[in-house]
Structure 1
């Protein structure tokens, strides 16, 4: 017999999560489609800060990434300003910052509601899975082609992935793409340069590995689901 008293609570949790999703989609529309933030202007302002520009760019990019400014645009700007070597480290620092900020906000805004919708037993099973595999779930997500990093970080935060796993996973998993987009930005004037070809090659390898890992993880998840929830017999 189901407990009807839990229904209002579940509706409340669902409405809260829906509100968070609508807010994030609205932010994505404003910054990625309407482009209310002029990235070129921001880049020029940061370049004027002189020797502190790499650190300032990393901090500003981390904040912009958390409000869903597309990471490849920020990474390309880093390559254009600082070159492929320094720019890659700047991009990687910004990426880790975005992952940490987004995960923290997702945890504060959606963690309680996510647990309320899942229920106590499912939430406990999810916590156990995160404890064992949360870090590598973050790493794997960074390899999946087209998976939005900031939105995924908000989701990971709502599901309870610890901040240290987010930061470490983002650092490990984002390194290849940080180099790719930064190198392409650094060679924007000559995309036929060896650096551009190297970046494209790394991107292709990363995409193939990511697609394979996603397929493998999905099959494992299906298999574990069948083991945990066998068909009950009378």
Structure 2
């Protein structure tokens, strides 16, 4: 009986986290419309403090699954490519750390407790290569960052791993979307072409790197997970 209760607790913690995040995403989608123009009008009232306020505001919005590209584009529209890029990257890093710490507190260790030896080995492998895993995930197109940041917290990545991985992996895409936001306001066609080119190149790089690492580590992961006979 005690053993069954011990297993149920991590399951309930993990299930509770998943349900909470799912409900949060639905509430954001239906009741928290966010637009570039709306963020601009809200940030203008802060004057010289608009940059720091935007970093914190965008980080909180990303935690509740407001799309990162929209937030980066807003940064570019408000501050230009240079400052907007710095603010967007700082905000993305802050979001990743906050998501990791939240998930670690709510569901940290649950995967290991309810999983078997193979799950524990895979989790350990992810921890040892945490920074690389985050970089690759940030580079792959179409994969939202916030849900994966929560997942990284559940499996136990360290704070420095997700922060460093986000700084490296999110930088190219943050630049692309920030520059597009700047170009949309300034009408700079050259900047728009450069931003589009960077975004396309990052997508190709992310897909290629993800495919290569998966292929390269497939046999290695199998060897590490398989227990000695």
Alpha carbons of structure 1 residues 30 and 223: separation in structure 2 relative to 1, 3 Å: same
* Partner of residue 30 from structure 1, selected from 27, 30, 34: 27
Runs of 4+ residues over 6 Å off in structure 1? none
Alpha carbons of structure 1 residues 73 and 227: separation in structure 2 relative to 1, 3 Å: same
Alpha carbons of structure 1 residues 116 and 231: separation in structure 2 relative to 1, 3 Å: closer
Provide TM-score, normalisation by structure 2.
0.89
* 2: CA distance, partners of 1:200 / 1:191: 14
Aligned counterpart, 1:43: 40
Provide TM-score, normalisation by structure 1.
0.87
The alpha-carbon deviation at position 41 of structure 1 amounts to 3.4
The alpha-carbon deviation at position 10 of structure 1 amounts to 3.2
Aligned counterpart, 2:209: 213
The alpha-carbon deviation at position 57 of structure 1 amounts to 0.5
* Partner of residue 49 from structure 2, selected from 52, 74, 77: 52
* Partner of residue 157 from structure 2, selected from 150, 156, 161: 161
Partner SS, residue 195 of structure 2: helix
* 2: CA distance, partners of 1:226 / 1:141: 21
Q: Give the alignment's Cα RMSD to 1 decimal.
A: 2.4
Question: What are structure 2's unaligned runs of at least 5 residues?
Answer: none
Aligned counterpart, 1:71: 68
The alpha-carbon deviation at position 230 of structure 1 amounts to 5.2
* 2: CA distance, partners of 1:182 / 1:221: 34
The alpha-carbon deviation at position 51 of structure 1 amounts to 0.9
Question: What are structure 1's unaligned runs of at least 5 residues?
Answer: none
Aligned counterpart, 1:182: 178
Residue pair 1:184, 1:191 contacting (<8 A) in 2 also: no
* 2: CA distance, partners of 1:60 / 1:86: 16
Aligned counterpart, 1:151: 147
* 2: CA distance, partners of 1:48 / 1:126: 46
Partner SS, residue 188 of structure 1: helix
